[in-house]
Amino acid sequence: MSGLAVRDLRVVFDGFVAVGGVDLDVPAGDVRFVIGPNGAGKTTLIDAITGLVKATGSVTFDGHQLLGRKVHRIARLGVGRTFQTAAVFEELTVLQNLDIAAGWRRSPLSLLRARKRVPEPVAAALSTVGLSAVRDEPAGTLAHGQKQWLEIGMLLVQDAKLLLLDEPVAGMSQAERDATGELLGRLAADRTVLVIEHDMDFLRRFARTVTVMHAGKVLSEGTVAEVQADPRVQEVYLGHGVA
């Protein structure tokens, strides 16, 4: 019951089947990687879970049906996602971004003032994502990796229990990738994490379980070693230089 359960999920764009009947179980506490070639339907899967695109089938998180609910209702049920391009307010500080995400209705003026006391959930999020030292810096001055971590921090202050991360390490340096891999482990301590990622080296190091998507369907599932040894996976990735 607890965790994410996807049943016969379908998303059709103008007759084109982007997700064609996906079943997926991500138990609480898992770090599930979803891989697959470009166009496999990975982002659309997350879009459907978070209510951004229309879908049929069933998606439950901790027993609550998500399909058919509005985006903000799904977020309130503890489902948070990041985008392939980080969406943070560049002119505001790290702390102000977290404040806004937390939804405390502070006046614009008070938001712009430096804060003396940082509320506990915000301090905890800063520490988890490793941004405590730069909390008063404008988000626009952060390194690429730090922006992704800030986005994750914004989900943490919203108390997201299911984190859906769309290619969080794309464009990151090796050091940022390592830090992100370790962050995933910390996140999963009391949450469920689904990560879309291509990088096989990153997968080998940090994935617990892997789901391989291809052409809108689940092609293979298992440990990294199991999916890498699957001839169907090797066939799909042949010539793509990924597996």
Ligand X SMILES: Nc1ncnc2c1ncn2[C@@H]1O[C@H](COP(=O)(O)OP(=O)(O)O)[C@@H](O)[C@H]1O
Residues that bind Mg ion (CB under 5 A): 43
CA nearest neighbour of 191 among 47, 75, 80? 80
Contacts of ligand X in 44-103 (CB under 6 A): 44
In the block, residue with structure tokens 């229309």: 54
Q: Give the nearer residue to Mg ion in terms of CB position, either 20 or 121.
A: 20
Residue 55 contacts residue 37 (beta carbons within 8 Å): no
- How many residues touch ligand X under the rule CB under 6 A: the total is 11
Report what 50 binds from Mg ion, ligand X, none; CB cut-off 5-8 Å by kind.
none
For residue 203, give every residue at least 6 positions away whose Cβ sits within 8 Å of its Cβ, in sequence order, or none: 33, 35, 197, 210, 224
For residue 92, give every residue at least 6 positions away whose Cβ sits within 8 Å of its Cβ, in sequence order, or none: 100, 111, 138, 139
168 binds ligand X (CB under 6 A): no
Q: Give the nearer residue to ligand X in terms of CB position, either 88 or 212.
A: 212
In the sheet where 192-196 sits, what is the strand order?
79-81, 162-166, 192-196, 31-35, 209-214, 217-222
Contacts of ligand X in 107-146 (CB under 6 A): none
Q: Give the nearer residue to ligand X in terms of CB position, either 180 or 211.
A: 211
Q: How far apart are CA 228 and CA 224, in angstroms?
A: 6
36 binds ligand X (CB under 6 A): yes
Report what 93 binds from ligand X, Mg ion, none; CB cut-off 5-8 Å by kind.
none
18 binds ligand X (CB under 6 A): yes
Q: How far apart are CA 93 and CA 100, in angstroms?
A: 11
Q: Give the nearer residue to ligand X in terms of CB position, either 12 or 118.
A: 12
153 binds ligand X (CB under 6 A): no
Which range touches ligand X (CB under 6 A), out of 11-19, 69-77, 127-135, 200-208?
Answer: 11-19
Could you tell me if residue 179 is left (phi over 0), alpha (psi between -120 and 50 degrees) or otherwise beta? alpha
Which range touches ligand X (CB under 6 A), out of 31-39, 94-102, 105-113, 122-130?
Answer: 31-39
Query: For binding to ligand X (CB under 6 A), which residues are involved?
Result: 13, 16, 18, 36, 38-44
